[in-house]
């Protein structure tokens, strides 16, 4: 359907005389006063509450919403999620269609520009990303400075932040041309830095990008090439990685997207803002969950031990990692696609993994248990992605790094939208101060 045409719900509302007045009437029982605030897109503006005061000196009413459970922080056209129905769309295109028919670079273009590229646009976009994959030689020295067992996510955060010291033109954030240039650089260099971080942790020489390979193919080349004169990626793995990249490309206002918008709202350069987003992703409740899922499955160890583990989750002793989501109260559509991909990779690689059986047994046990059913806890994207990546030969510490490589385009799309939005200002939430109001300074000799 044309995005401009009204939806069935909108039509029903406008035909209903009771719904004709798109406003909310609030009665302040402290003063008996009534206020009428406009409703747009089923939302009121928090600033409209500020007029509600007990007396003229009063600051005015605020809304309290820790963790943004019910607060829209922006107006966006990038990604749509219906968490109850388990729907995810990039720029209106269902994730299932993109995973089946598109490629990561084409999807990245779509996220950034709002439309699927023509053949010429895709060629031009691919050319520019491919020709920005090399990094300055001194960045290699920087990477060499990390300890041998440094986590590649820590290395990625720092190295992406360090890019801001190389590209001074990145500060020109209001120039669309400059933003385009930084976008090529970020999407092009992210796999290189990610792969170099991994090679450093192995103590192996860095592998330079190969411009003749696809985006995921080149990533595999930089990660895994050893003595071959020319690395040829396994087509099954290359395709599976491309699908994983598409599934991780964006996810509207999640923790790291909110971070890049928040940090970027101070008008810092995109490398510093992206480094902050990667840091947000690193946490185990966000992108770090894929690593935690694998550790959990290894700890459980066998299908027989699943019921015991479920008991421990229900007593609150441990969390079932890879389950639950702030927005999805249904099966995460990405998890469905990855589950199929995991099976395919294992069949092709002829490498059955007992962890996949444990994961399936966990899922079955959870989905039929009232604890998970009542709380609407379903597998999320991270539940099967770790097993798939493990089967593809990725070490556990690289799982979240891979997520970061794919999500870069989502971060840049969200950041650019924020920069161009005239309604956005520097992010600055309010607080409810409940500390001591005022007291006199206590001299040292009088303190107890």
Burial of 53: CB neighbours in 10 Å, binned 0-12, 13-18, 19+:
middle
Can you read off the two tokens belonging to residue 437?
A: 């109001």
DSSP of 171-212: G-TT-HHHHHHHHHHHHHHHHHHHHHHHHHHHT-------TT
Q: Is 285 among the residues that bind ligand CMC (CB under 6 A)? A: yes
Q: Is 65 a catalytic residue?
A: no
Helix, strand, coil % in the chain, rounded to nearest 5: 55, 5, 40
Q: Is 382 a catalytic residue?
A: yes
- Among 313, 341, 346, 418, interactor with ligand CMC by CB under 6 A: 313
* Residue with the shortest CB distance to ligand CMC: 324
Q: What are the E-state strand segments in 46-100?
A: 79-82, 87-90, 93-94
DSSP of 314-359: HTTSS--TTB--SS-SS--HHHHHHHHHHHHHHHHHT---HHHHHH
C-alpha span between 190 and 405 (Å, rounded): 6
- Among 136, 171, 326, 360, interactor with ligand CMC by CB under 6 A: 326
Can you read off the two tokens belonging to residue 329?
A: 């109260």
Can you read off the two tokens belonging to residue 231?
A: 């690395």
- Among 289, 391, 392, 398, interactor with ligand CMC by CB under 6 A: 289
Residues shown for the chain:
448
Q: Which is nearer to ligand CMC, 75 or 285 (CB)?
A: 285
- Among 239, 261, 325, 339, interactor with ligand CMC by CB under 6 A: 325
C-alpha span between 228 and 230 (Å, rounded): 5
- Among 152, 191, 270, 287, interactor with ligand CMC by CB under 6 A: 287
Pair 166, 108: CB distance under 8 Å: no
User: Active-site residue among 132, 151, 325, 332?
Assistant: 325
Q: Which is nearer to ligand CMC, 106 or 382 (CB)?
A: 382
Number of residues engaging ligand CMC in binding (CB under 6 A) = 19
Stretch that binds ligand CMC, among 29-37, 100-108, 314-322, 414-422 (CB under 6 A): 314-322
Q: x/- site string to ligand CMC, residues 243 to 272, per CB under 6 A?
A: -----------x------------------
**Minimal distance, residue 286 CB to ligand CMC, in Å:** 4
Q: In what order do the strands lie in the sheet with 87-90?
A: 79-82, 87-90, 93-94
- Among 53, 319, 329, 348, interactor with ligand CMC by CB under 6 A: 319
C-alpha span between 249 and 326 (Å, rounded): 18
Residue keyed to tokens 């790094």: 401
Q: Which is nearer to ligand CMC, 190 or 289 (CB)?
A: 289
Can you read off the two tokens belonging to residue 147?
A: 């300890």
**Minimal distance, residue 24 CB to ligand CMC, in Å:** 26
Stretch that binds ligand CMC, among 210-218, 304-312, 324-332, 347-355 (CB under 6 A): 324-332
Q: Which is nearer to ligand CMC, 98 or 281 (CB)?
A: 281
Q: Which is nearer to ligand CMC, 104 or 323 (CB)?
A: 323
Q: Compute φ and ψ for 62, nearest 5 degrees.
A: -120, 170
User: Active-site residue among 248, 382, 421, 440?
Assistant: 382
**Minimal distance, residue 272 CB to ligand CMC, in Å:** 21
Q: Which is nearer to ligand CMC, 102 or 400 (CB)?
A: 400
C-alpha span between 384 and 407 (Å, rounded): 18
Contacting ligand CMC within 348-377 (CB under 6 A): 375, 377
Contacting ligand CMC within 377-396 (CB under 6 A): 377, 380-382
CB atoms within 10 A of CB 172: 14
Pair 388, 345: CB distance under 8 Å: yes
Residues that bind ligand CMC (CB under 6 A): 254, 285-287, 289, 313, 319-326, 375, 377, 380-382
Catalytic residue numbers, as ranges? 325, 382
């Amino acid at each position: 359907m044309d995005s401009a045409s009204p939806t069935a719900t909108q039509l029903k509302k406008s035909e209903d005389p009771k719904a004709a007045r798109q406003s909310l009437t609030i009665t302040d029982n402290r003063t008996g006063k009534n206020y009428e605030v406009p409703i747009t897109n089923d939302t009121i503006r928090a600033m409209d509450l500020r007029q509600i005061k007990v007396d003229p000196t009063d600051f005015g009413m605020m809304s309290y919403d820790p963790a943004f459970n019910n607060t829209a922080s922006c107006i966006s056209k990038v990604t749509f999620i219906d968490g109850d129905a388990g729907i995810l769309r990039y720029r209106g295109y269902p994730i299932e269609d993109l995973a089946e028919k598109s490629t990561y670079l084409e999807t990245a273009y779509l996220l950034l520009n709002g439309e699927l590229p023509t053949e010429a646009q895709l060629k031009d976009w691919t050319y520019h990303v491919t020709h920005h994959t090399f990094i300055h030689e001194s960045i290699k020295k920087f990477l060499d400075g990390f300890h041998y067992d440094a986590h590649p996510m820590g290395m990625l955060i720092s190295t992406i932040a360090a890019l801001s010291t190389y590209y001074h033109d990145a500060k020109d954030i209001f120039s669309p041309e400059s933003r385009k240039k930084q976008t090529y650089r970020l999407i092009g260099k992210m796999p290189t830095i990610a792969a170099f971080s991994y090679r450093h942790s192995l103590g192996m020489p860095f592998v330079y990008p190969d411009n003749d390979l696809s985006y995921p193919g080149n990533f595999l080349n930089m990660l895994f090439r050893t003595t071959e004169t020319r690395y040829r990626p396994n087509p099954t793995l290359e395709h599976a990685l491309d699908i994983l990249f598409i599934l991780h490309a964006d996810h509207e206002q999640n923790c790291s997207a909110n971070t890049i918008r928040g940090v970027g709202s101070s008008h810092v350069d995109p490398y510093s803002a992206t480094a902050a987003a990667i840091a947000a992703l690193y946490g185990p409740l966000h992108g770090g969950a894929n690593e935690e899922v694998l550790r959990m499955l290894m700890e459980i160890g066998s299908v027989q031990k699943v019921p015991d583990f479920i008991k421990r989750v229900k007593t609150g002793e441990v969390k079932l990692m890879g389950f639950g989501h702030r927005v999805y109260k249904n099966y995460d559509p990405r998890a469905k696609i990855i589950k199929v991909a995991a099976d395919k990779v294992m069949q092709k690689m002829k490498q059955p993994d007992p962890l996949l059986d444990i994961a399936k047994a966990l899922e079955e046990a959870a989905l039929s248990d009232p604890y998970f059913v009542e709380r609407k806890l379903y597998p999320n994207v991270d539940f099967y992605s770790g097993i798939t990546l493990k089967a593809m030969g990725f070490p556990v510490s690289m799982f979240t790094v891979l997520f970061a490589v794919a999500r870069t385009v989502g971060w840049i799309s969200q950041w650019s939208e924020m920069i161009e939005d005239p309604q956005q200002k520097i992010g600055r939430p309010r607080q409810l101060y409940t500390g001591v109001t005022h007291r006199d300074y206590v001299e040292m000799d009088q303190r107890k």
